[in-house]
């Protein structure tokens, strides 16, 4: 989750714990230097986290997002690629990710409320880090579009095009590149501009 803009291992669950007894949390925070240091570390992790960024990563798995992109595509090739991508995305994965995101959001709301109750709110994610995530999300989106352009190839590698696309949609990029190198040895000629 760290690479997806949310430090779940450092922040996740604290909000729920705080919300169980916010008065006791406040008393512990004010009375214990150790508690303040712990909360300070968690608040720092919170400042490196953004549920909006995580939601943007999750959205790339939303078939409806890609249908919407197809709806407004002016380039016929991009239109076909978006529509083909929808065929490969499993809406169930997106729904599961949405449930996880909702739980994180509820927990973070409680965590932020706990920090505010002791006058120690976490600063927001820096603009620079948010921009880096935006660039990464854009690259992942383009990877998805490129994945559906993979032409048929011989199954000497025991991997089908569909399986390779699924691997890329799960961001298993390096193993997929090895399969592509085996299926399409470099001969110096550029690939045609396929569908």
Domain boundaries, the chain: 2-149
Q: How many CA atoms lie within 13 A of 79 on its CB side?
A: 6
Residue-wise pLDDT tens digits, 76-103 = 999 999 999 999 998 899 999 999 999 9
Each residue's pLDDT tens digit, 25-79:
999 999 999 999 999 999 999 999 999 999 999 999 999 999 999 999 999 999 9
- State whether the Cα torsion 9-14-17-20 is positive or negative: negative
Distance of CA 43 to the CA centre of its chain: 21
Three-state secondary structure call for residue 17: helix
Model confidence band, residue 195 (pLDDT cutoffs 50, 70, 90) = low
pLDDT tens digits, 142-175:
999 999 999 887 766 688 899 999 999 999 999 9
* CA separation for the pair 66, 84 (Å, rounded): 9
pLDDT at 188 exceeding the cut of 80: no
Q: Please, are residues 135 and 57 in contact by the beta-carbon 8 Å criterion?
A: no
């Amino acid at each position: 989750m760290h690479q997806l803009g949310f430090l779940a291992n450092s922040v996740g669950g604290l909000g729920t714990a705080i919300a169980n007894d916010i008065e006791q949390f406040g008393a512990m925070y004010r009375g214990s230097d150790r508690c303040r240091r712990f909360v300070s570390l968690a608040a720092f992790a919170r400042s490196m986290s953004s549920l909006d960024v995580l939601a943007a990563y999750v959205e790339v798995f939303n078939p409806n997002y890609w249908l919407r992109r197809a709806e407004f595509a002016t380039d016929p090739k991009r239109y076909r690629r978006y529509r083909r991508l929808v065929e490969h995305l499993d809406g169930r994965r997106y729904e599961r990710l949405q449930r996880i995101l909702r739980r994180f959001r509820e927990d973070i709301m409680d965590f932020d409320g706990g920090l505010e109750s002791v006058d120690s709110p976490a600063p927001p994610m820096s603009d620079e880090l948010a921009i880096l995530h935006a660039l990464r999300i854009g690259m992942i989106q383009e990877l998805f579009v490129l994945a559906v352009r993979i032409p048929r190839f011989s199954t000497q590698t025991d991997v089908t095009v569909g399986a390779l696309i699924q691997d890329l949609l799960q961001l298993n990029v390096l193993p997929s590149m090895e399969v592509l190198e085996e299926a399409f040895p470099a001969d110096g000629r550029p690939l045609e501009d396929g569908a």
